């Protein structure tokens, strides 16, 4: 008799797990982002990873953005030697003087940061 009790308990847990699996929304198994414009004109991107991005005032870009949020292999551009050297040939970036709230960026007084260094 105790064996039947354990079998019924296991069957109950199995049934509960099956019901819990059925309660998961179908969107949880999608691999691409859900992009839409809300009623306020904002662009909303529900990521498949679980986070949500809201871009204020860009609801008109929903169709264009939805076309660019497909999943799969990323599009990678490989540069050969000549193109790679040409891409970094204009590497000089002069420093700029940041006036005002430079303390917010951890700069000392009068320090001239180089904003985009060459790589």
DSSP notation for 35-83 = EEE-TTS-EEEE-TTS-EEEETT-GGGHHHHHHT---SSPP-----HHH
pLDDT digits (tens, 9 = 90+) for 30-44: 567 888 999 888 999
Sign of torsion over alpha carbons 10, 11, 14, 16: negative
Predicted confidence band of residue 7 (pLDDT cuts 50, 70, 90): low
CA distance 47 to 74: 16
Residue 119 CB contacts under 8 Å (≥ 6 apart), including other chains: 88
Threshold 0.95, pTM exceeds = no
């Amino acid at each position: 008799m105790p064996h039947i009790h354990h079998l019924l308990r296991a069957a109950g847990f199995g049934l509960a797990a099956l019901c819990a699996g059925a309660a998961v929304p179908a969107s949880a198994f999608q691999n691409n982002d859900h992009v839409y414009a809300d009623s306020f004109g904002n662009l909303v991107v529900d990521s498949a990873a679980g986070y949500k991005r809201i871009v204020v005032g860009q609801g008109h870009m929903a169709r264009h953005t939805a076309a660019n949020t497909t999943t799969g292999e990323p599009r990678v551009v490989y540069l050969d030697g000549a193109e790679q050297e040409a891409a970094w040939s204009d590497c000089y970036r002069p420093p700029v003087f940041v006036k005002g709230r430079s303390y917010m960026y951890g700069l000392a007084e009068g320090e001239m940061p180089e904003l985009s260094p060459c790589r």
